[in-house]
Structure 1
Amino acid sequence: MKNLIFLGCLLLLVSAYSISRTHDSKANPISSNSEKTKSFYEFSMKDLDGKEVDFNSFKGKKIMVVNVASKCGYTPQYEALQKLYSENSDKLVILGFPANNFGGQEPGTSEEIKSFCSENYGVTFPMFEKVSVKGFDKHPIYRWLTDAAMNGWNNEEPSWNFCKYMIDEKGELIKYFPFKVDPLDQEIIDLINA
Protein backbone atom coordinates (compact mmCIF):
# COMPACT_ATOMS: atom_id res chain seq x y z
CA MET A 1 0.00 0.00 0.00
CA LYS A 2 2.84 2.44 0.91
CA ASN A 3 4.50 1.70 -2.46
CA LEU A 4 1.25 2.49 -4.25
CA ILE A 5 0.86 5.81 -2.41
CA PHE A 6 4.53 6.66 -3.07
CA LEU A 7 4.09 5.83 -6.77
CA GLY A 8 0.95 7.98 -6.96
CA CYS A 9 2.74 10.95 -5.36
CA LEU A 10 5.68 10.53 -7.71
CA LEU A 11 3.38 10.51 -10.75
CA LEU A 12 1.61 13.61 -9.43
CA LEU A 13 4.94 15.44 -9.02
CA VAL A 14 6.12 14.45 -12.50
CA SER A 15 2.82 15.63 -14.00
CA ALA A 16 2.98 18.95 -12.15
CA TYR A 17 6.58 19.48 -13.29
CA SER A 18 5.68 18.64 -16.90
CA ILE A 19 2.70 21.04 -16.90
CA SER A 20 4.88 23.75 -15.38
CA ARG A 21 7.58 23.30 -18.06
CA THR A 22 4.98 23.37 -20.85
CA HIS A 23 3.46 26.57 -19.47
CA ASP A 24 6.89 28.22 -19.14
CA SER A 25 7.88 27.34 -22.70
CA LYS A 26 4.62 28.81 -24.06
CA ALA A 27 5.00 31.99 -22.04
CA ASN A 28 8.65 32.39 -23.01
CA PRO A 29 9.40 30.60 -26.29
CA ILE A 30 12.98 31.84 -26.29
CA SER A 31 14.52 29.84 -23.50
CA SER A 32 17.69 30.95 -21.78
CA ASN A 33 19.73 28.26 -23.48
CA SER A 34 18.48 29.08 -27.00
CA GLU A 35 20.76 30.56 -29.65
CA LYS A 36 18.97 33.96 -29.48
CA THR A 37 21.80 35.14 -27.29
CA LYS A 38 24.25 34.26 -30.05
CA SER A 39 25.29 37.38 -31.89
CA PHE A 40 26.09 37.51 -35.59
CA TYR A 41 29.60 38.48 -34.50
CA GLU A 42 30.09 35.17 -32.68
CA PHE A 43 30.22 33.28 -35.98
CA SER A 44 33.35 32.47 -37.91
CA MET A 45 33.76 30.62 -41.19
CA LYS A 46 36.38 29.55 -43.68
CA ASP A 47 36.69 31.64 -46.81
CA LEU A 48 37.29 30.18 -50.29
CA ASP A 49 41.03 29.93 -49.47
CA GLY A 50 40.31 27.89 -46.33
CA LYS A 51 41.25 30.76 -44.00
CA GLU A 52 39.09 31.15 -40.87
CA VAL A 53 37.34 34.55 -40.81
CA ASP A 54 36.07 35.91 -37.49
CA PHE A 55 32.83 37.85 -38.05
CA ASN A 56 33.88 40.15 -35.21
CA SER A 57 36.08 41.82 -37.83
CA PHE A 58 32.92 43.21 -39.50
CA LYS A 59 31.76 45.20 -36.46
CA GLY A 60 30.85 48.80 -37.18
CA LYS A 61 29.74 48.21 -40.78
CA LYS A 62 26.48 47.21 -42.37
CA ILE A 63 26.65 43.64 -43.68
CA MET A 64 24.83 42.06 -46.62
CA VAL A 65 24.74 38.27 -46.56
CA VAL A 66 23.98 36.72 -49.97
CA ASN A 67 23.61 33.09 -51.04
CA VAL A 68 25.29 32.96 -54.45
CA ALA A 69 25.62 30.52 -57.36
CA SER A 70 27.69 30.46 -60.55
CA LYS A 71 25.18 28.88 -62.93
CA CYS A 72 21.98 30.78 -62.14
CA GLY A 73 19.92 33.23 -64.17
CA TYR A 74 20.64 35.73 -61.38
CA THR A 75 24.43 35.16 -61.44
CA PRO A 76 24.92 38.55 -63.19
CA GLN A 77 23.94 40.11 -59.84
CA TYR A 78 27.61 39.53 -58.93
CA GLU A 79 28.38 42.61 -61.03
CA ALA A 80 25.95 44.80 -59.08
CA LEU A 81 27.11 43.31 -55.78
CA GLN A 82 30.71 44.15 -56.62
CA LYS A 83 29.76 47.69 -57.65
CA LEU A 84 27.78 48.15 -54.42
CA TYR A 85 30.74 46.88 -52.40
CA SER A 86 33.31 49.01 -54.25
CA GLU A 87 31.27 52.18 -53.82
CA ASN A 88 30.42 51.59 -50.14
CA SER A 89 33.30 49.54 -48.70
CA ASP A 90 33.87 52.17 -45.99
CA LYS A 91 30.46 51.33 -44.47
CA LEU A 92 29.37 48.02 -46.01
CA VAL A 93 30.74 44.52 -46.32
CA ILE A 94 29.14 41.91 -48.56
CA LEU A 95 29.53 38.26 -47.58
CA GLY A 96 28.99 35.74 -50.37
CA PHE A 97 27.91 32.22 -49.44
CA PRO A 98 27.99 29.80 -52.39
CA ALA A 99 25.18 27.26 -52.09
CA ASN A 100 24.04 24.38 -54.26
CA ASN A 101 20.49 24.22 -52.85
CA PHE A 102 18.63 25.48 -55.90
CA GLY A 103 18.76 23.45 -59.09
CA GLY A 104 22.36 22.32 -58.50
CA GLN A 105 23.50 25.74 -59.74
CA GLU A 106 26.69 25.86 -57.65
CA PRO A 107 28.43 22.53 -58.30
CA GLY A 108 32.00 23.91 -58.19
CA THR A 109 34.81 23.51 -55.69
CA SER A 110 36.12 26.47 -53.70
CA GLU A 111 38.91 26.94 -56.25
CA GLU A 112 36.47 26.87 -59.18
CA ILE A 113 34.07 29.30 -57.49
CA LYS A 114 36.89 31.71 -56.65
CA SER A 115 38.24 31.58 -60.19
CA PHE A 116 34.77 32.07 -61.72
CA CYS A 117 33.95 35.08 -59.51
CA SER A 118 37.32 36.72 -60.05
CA GLU A 119 37.58 36.18 -63.81
CA ASN A 120 33.98 36.99 -64.71
CA TYR A 121 32.96 39.64 -62.19
CA GLY A 122 36.14 40.88 -60.46
CA VAL A 123 34.69 39.97 -57.06
CA THR A 124 36.73 41.36 -54.17
CA PHE A 125 34.17 41.07 -51.34
CA PRO A 126 34.59 38.14 -48.91
CA MET A 127 33.45 34.78 -50.29
CA PHE A 128 33.09 31.71 -48.11
CA GLU A 129 33.17 27.96 -48.51
CA LYS A 130 30.05 26.40 -49.97
CA VAL A 131 27.22 25.93 -47.46
CA SER A 132 23.65 24.68 -47.36
CA VAL A 133 21.17 27.52 -46.85
CA LYS A 134 18.06 25.39 -46.26
CA GLY A 135 17.01 21.89 -45.29
CA PHE A 136 18.25 19.46 -42.66
CA ASP A 137 21.91 20.42 -43.22
CA LYS A 138 21.35 24.20 -43.11
CA HIS A 139 24.52 25.97 -41.98
CA PRO A 140 24.35 27.61 -38.50
CA ILE A 141 24.69 31.12 -39.98
CA TYR A 142 21.59 30.49 -42.08
CA ARG A 143 19.79 28.95 -39.12
CA TRP A 144 20.44 32.24 -37.30
CA LEU A 145 19.33 34.35 -40.29
CA THR A 146 16.09 32.41 -40.80
CA ASP A 147 14.86 31.66 -37.27
CA ALA A 148 13.04 34.46 -35.44
CA ALA A 149 13.83 32.81 -32.11
CA MET A 150 17.51 33.40 -32.87
CA ASN A 151 17.60 36.67 -34.84
CA GLY A 152 14.65 38.43 -33.22
CA TRP A 153 12.09 38.66 -36.06
CA ASN A 154 12.79 36.86 -39.36
CA ASN A 155 11.76 33.34 -40.43
CA GLU A 156 12.20 33.91 -44.17
CA GLU A 157 14.50 31.32 -45.80
CA PRO A 158 16.19 31.88 -49.14
CA SER A 159 13.69 30.97 -51.86
CA TRP A 160 16.37 30.93 -54.58
CA ASN A 161 19.96 32.05 -55.19
CA PHE A 162 20.88 35.68 -54.44
CA CYS A 163 18.56 36.36 -51.50
CA LYS A 164 19.94 39.16 -49.34
CA TYR A 165 19.96 39.68 -45.57
CA MET A 166 20.99 43.07 -44.17
CA ILE A 167 22.62 43.35 -40.78
CA ASP A 168 23.28 46.66 -39.06
CA GLU A 169 26.45 47.94 -37.41
CA LYS A 170 25.43 46.31 -34.11
CA GLY A 171 25.09 42.85 -35.64
CA GLU A 172 21.29 42.86 -35.70
CA LEU A 173 19.33 41.54 -38.68
CA ILE A 174 17.30 44.44 -40.07
CA LYS A 175 15.97 43.44 -43.50
CA TYR A 176 15.44 40.55 -45.91
CA PHE A 177 15.40 41.04 -49.70
CA PRO A 178 14.29 38.26 -52.08
CA PHE A 179 16.48 37.16 -55.00
CA LYS A 180 14.72 39.37 -57.57
CA VAL A 181 15.70 42.56 -55.75
CA ASP A 182 18.66 44.15 -57.52
CA PRO A 183 21.64 44.82 -55.21
CA LEU A 184 21.58 48.45 -56.42
CA ASP A 185 17.90 48.92 -55.54
CA GLN A 186 17.25 52.31 -53.96
CA GLU A 187 15.89 50.74 -50.76
CA ILE A 188 19.21 48.93 -50.28
CA ILE A 189 21.19 52.13 -50.99
CA ASP A 190 19.03 54.05 -48.48
CA LEU A 191 19.52 51.32 -45.87
CA ILE A 192 23.30 51.44 -46.30
CA ASN A 193 23.29 55.23 -45.91
CA ALA A 194 20.86 55.31 -42.97
Structure 2
Amino acid sequence: MANVHHFKVRTPQGTSLDLSAYRDKVLLIVNTASRCGFTPQYQDLEHLYQQYHQQGLEILAFPCNQFGGQEPGNDQDIQQFCQLNYGVSFPVLAKIQVNGPDADPLFEYLKDQARGLMKTRAIKWNFTKFLVNKDGVVVKRYAPRTKPNQFIDAIEAELALLPKATA
Protein backbone atom coordinates (compact mmCIF):
# COMPACT_ATOMS: atom_id res chain seq x y z
CA MET A 1 0.00 0.00 0.00
CA ALA A 2 1.42 3.33 -1.04
CA ASN A 3 -0.47 5.50 1.49
CA VAL A 4 -3.50 5.76 3.79
CA HIS A 5 -5.79 6.55 0.87
CA HIS A 6 -5.45 2.96 -0.40
CA PHE A 7 -7.31 1.52 2.61
CA LYS A 8 -10.95 0.81 3.30
CA VAL A 9 -12.36 0.70 6.82
CA ARG A 10 -15.66 -0.39 8.30
CA THR A 11 -18.33 1.99 9.55
CA PRO A 12 -20.44 1.19 12.64
CA GLN A 13 -23.26 0.31 10.22
CA GLY A 14 -21.07 -2.38 8.65
CA THR A 15 -20.47 -0.62 5.35
CA SER A 16 -17.10 0.08 3.80
CA LEU A 17 -15.54 3.55 3.86
CA ASP A 18 -12.86 4.17 1.24
CA LEU A 19 -10.19 6.45 2.71
CA SER A 20 -9.49 7.82 -0.77
CA ALA A 21 -12.47 10.06 0.03
CA TYR A 22 -10.04 11.98 2.27
CA ARG A 23 -7.57 12.95 -0.45
CA ASP A 24 -6.47 16.56 0.00
CA LYS A 25 -7.51 16.47 3.67
CA VAL A 26 -5.32 16.32 6.76
CA LEU A 27 -6.21 13.28 8.87
CA LEU A 28 -5.80 12.61 12.55
CA ILE A 29 -6.35 8.88 13.10
CA VAL A 30 -6.83 7.76 16.72
CA ASN A 31 -7.49 4.47 18.48
CA THR A 32 -9.98 5.24 21.24
CA ALA A 33 -11.81 3.76 24.23
CA SER A 34 -14.76 4.89 26.34
CA ARG A 35 -13.52 3.79 29.77
CA CYS A 36 -9.91 4.96 29.70
CA GLY A 37 -8.11 7.63 31.68
CA PHE A 38 -7.46 9.31 28.33
CA THR A 39 -11.14 9.26 27.28
CA PRO A 40 -11.51 13.01 28.04
CA GLN A 41 -9.32 13.52 24.96
CA TYR A 42 -12.55 13.05 23.00
CA GLN A 43 -13.39 16.58 24.14
CA ASP A 44 -10.00 17.87 22.93
CA LEU A 45 -10.43 16.06 19.61
CA GLU A 46 -13.91 17.52 19.14
CA HIS A 47 -12.54 20.99 19.86
CA LEU A 48 -9.86 20.50 17.19
CA TYR A 49 -12.47 19.22 14.77
CA GLN A 50 -14.71 22.22 15.33
CA GLN A 51 -11.79 24.62 15.00
CA TYR A 52 -10.09 23.12 11.93
CA HIS A 53 -12.63 21.01 10.04
CA GLN A 54 -13.56 23.83 7.64
CA GLN A 55 -9.86 24.24 6.85
CA GLY A 56 -9.52 20.57 5.86
CA LEU A 57 -8.93 18.55 9.06
CA GLU A 58 -10.69 15.22 9.41
CA ILE A 59 -10.52 13.11 12.56
CA LEU A 60 -11.18 9.37 12.40
CA ALA A 61 -11.65 7.51 15.68
CA PHE A 62 -11.26 3.74 15.86
CA PRO A 63 -12.56 2.21 19.10
CA CYS A 64 -10.46 -0.66 20.42
CA ASN A 65 -10.92 -3.01 23.39
CA GLN A 66 -7.37 -4.41 23.48
CA PHE A 67 -6.10 -2.28 26.36
CA GLY A 68 -7.54 -3.16 29.75
CA GLY A 69 -10.95 -4.02 28.28
CA GLN A 70 -11.74 -0.30 28.23
CA GLU A 71 -14.05 -0.40 25.20
CA PRO A 72 -16.47 -3.25 26.00
CA GLY A 73 -19.54 -1.91 24.17
CA ASN A 74 -20.76 -2.69 20.69
CA ASP A 75 -20.59 -0.15 17.86
CA GLN A 76 -24.03 1.29 18.70
CA ASP A 77 -23.12 1.70 22.41
CA ILE A 78 -19.87 3.44 21.46
CA GLN A 79 -21.62 5.86 19.09
CA GLN A 80 -24.16 6.75 21.75
CA PHE A 81 -21.46 7.23 24.42
CA CYS A 82 -19.39 9.54 22.21
CA GLN A 83 -22.38 11.65 21.22
CA LEU A 84 -23.98 11.93 24.66
CA ASN A 85 -20.82 12.47 26.71
CA TYR A 86 -18.59 14.45 24.35
CA GLY A 87 -20.81 15.69 21.51
CA VAL A 88 -18.49 14.01 19.04
CA SER A 89 -19.31 15.02 15.47
CA PHE A 90 -16.29 13.48 13.71
CA PRO A 91 -16.52 9.88 12.46
CA VAL A 92 -16.23 7.15 15.09
CA LEU A 93 -15.79 4.01 13.03
CA ALA A 94 -16.35 0.33 13.80
CA LYS A 95 -14.51 -1.24 16.71
CA ILE A 96 -11.23 -2.84 15.64
CA GLN A 97 -8.04 -4.42 16.90
CA VAL A 98 -4.82 -2.46 16.47
CA ASN A 99 -2.29 -5.13 17.51
CA GLY A 100 -1.92 -8.86 17.02
CA PRO A 101 -2.92 -11.26 14.25
CA ASP A 102 -6.36 -9.64 13.81
CA ALA A 103 -5.08 -6.06 13.69
CA ASP A 104 -6.81 -3.84 11.16
CA PRO A 105 -4.69 -3.45 7.99
CA LEU A 106 -4.82 0.35 8.28
CA PHE A 107 -3.23 0.21 11.72
CA GLU A 108 -0.63 -2.30 10.53
CA TYR A 109 0.33 0.27 7.91
CA LEU A 110 0.30 3.19 10.38
CA LYS A 111 2.56 1.29 12.79
CA ASP A 112 5.00 0.52 9.98
CA GLN A 113 5.12 4.15 8.91
CA ALA A 114 5.56 5.74 12.36
CA ARG A 115 7.18 3.85 15.18
CA GLY A 116 6.55 4.56 18.83
CA LEU A 117 8.88 5.17 21.74
CA MET A 118 12.17 3.29 21.43
CA LYS A 119 11.20 2.48 17.79
CA THR A 120 8.53 0.03 18.92
CA ARG A 121 5.95 -0.90 16.34
CA ALA A 122 3.11 -1.98 18.64
CA ILE A 123 0.54 0.46 19.91
CA LYS A 124 0.92 0.56 23.68
CA TRP A 125 -2.43 2.05 24.76
CA ASN A 126 -5.62 3.86 23.81
CA PHE A 127 -5.47 7.30 22.20
CA THR A 128 -2.34 6.79 20.13
CA LYS A 129 -2.65 9.39 17.38
CA PHE A 130 -1.34 9.47 13.80
CA LEU A 131 -1.16 12.71 11.82
CA VAL A 132 -1.50 12.10 8.07
CA ASN A 133 -0.89 14.71 5.38
CA LYS A 134 -3.07 15.55 2.35
CA ASP A 135 -1.27 12.92 0.27
CA GLY A 136 -2.05 10.12 2.74
CA VAL A 137 1.50 9.99 4.13
CA VAL A 138 1.97 9.52 7.88
CA VAL A 139 3.70 12.60 9.25
CA LYS A 140 3.97 11.76 12.96
CA ARG A 141 2.81 9.41 15.70
CA TYR A 142 1.78 10.86 19.06
CA ALA A 143 1.68 8.95 22.34
CA PRO A 144 -1.53 8.54 24.34
CA ARG A 145 -0.33 11.06 26.95
CA THR A 146 0.22 13.71 24.26
CA LYS A 147 -2.93 15.80 24.23
CA PRO A 148 -4.20 16.98 20.84
CA ASN A 149 -3.64 20.65 21.72
CA GLN A 150 0.06 19.90 22.16
CA PHE A 151 0.56 19.41 18.42
CA ILE A 152 -1.68 22.10 16.96
CA ASP A 153 1.38 23.64 15.27
CA ALA A 154 1.95 20.42 13.32
CA ILE A 155 -1.72 20.27 12.30
CA GLU A 156 -1.69 23.91 11.21
CA ALA A 157 1.51 23.34 9.22
CA GLU A 158 -0.15 20.48 7.30
CA LEU A 159 -3.35 22.47 6.78
CA ALA A 160 -1.29 25.34 5.31
CA LEU A 161 -0.19 22.94 2.54
CA LEU A 162 -3.74 22.12 1.41
CA PRO A 163 -5.04 23.34 -1.93
CA LYS A 164 -6.97 26.58 -1.52
CA ALA A 165 -10.18 24.95 -2.81
CA THR A 166 -10.25 22.78 0.37
CA ALA A 167 -9.99 25.74 2.72
Sort the TM-score into its range (normalised by shorter chain).
0.7 to 0.9
Aligned AA for 1:87?
A: Q
Mapped to 2, the partners of 1:51 and 1:138 lie a distance apart of 18
Residue 9 (structure 2) aligns with: 45
- Per-residue CA distance 1:85-125 (angstroms, 9 max, x = gap): 11000221111000001000001000000000000000111
Residue 176 (structure 1) aligns with: 141
Aligned AA for 1:83?
A: H
Q: CA deviation at 1:136?
A: 1.8
Match of 1:112 among 58, 61, 77: 77
Q: Give me the CA root mean square deviation.
A: 1.3
More helix by share: 1
Answer whether contact 2:65 2:97 (CA < 8 A) is retained.
Answer: yes
Mapped to 1, the partners of 2:125 and 2:9 lie a distance apart of 22
Mapped to 1, the partners of 2:86 and 2:130 lie a distance apart of 21
Mapped to 2, the partners of 1:119 and 1:158 lie a distance apart of 27
Mapped to 2, the partners of 1:74 and 1:39 lie a distance apart of 28
Residue 122 (structure 2) aligns with: 157
Residue 19 (structure 2) aligns with: 55
Unpaired runs of 5+ residues, structure 2, are: 158-167
Over 4 Å off, 4+ runs: none
Mapped to 1, the partners of 2:105 and 2:4 lie a distance apart of 10
Q: CA deviation at 1:52?
A: 2.0
Mapped to 1, the partners of 2:51 and 2:13 lie a distance apart of 25
Aligned AA for 1:84?
A: L
What TM-score, normalized by structure 1, do the two folds share? 0.75
Question: Does 2:55 correspond to 1:88?
Answer: no
Residue 154 (structure 2) aligns with: 191
Q: Which has the higher contact order (CA 8 A, sep 6+)?
A: 2
Q: CA deviation at 1:183?
A: 1.0
Answer whether contact 2:3 2:135 (CA < 8 A) is retained.
Answer: no
Mapped to 1, the partners of 2:60 and 2:32 lie a distance apart of 10
Aligned length: 152
1:137-152 maps to which residues of 2 (within 5 A)?
137-147=102-112, 151=113
Residue 68 (structure 1) aligns with: 32
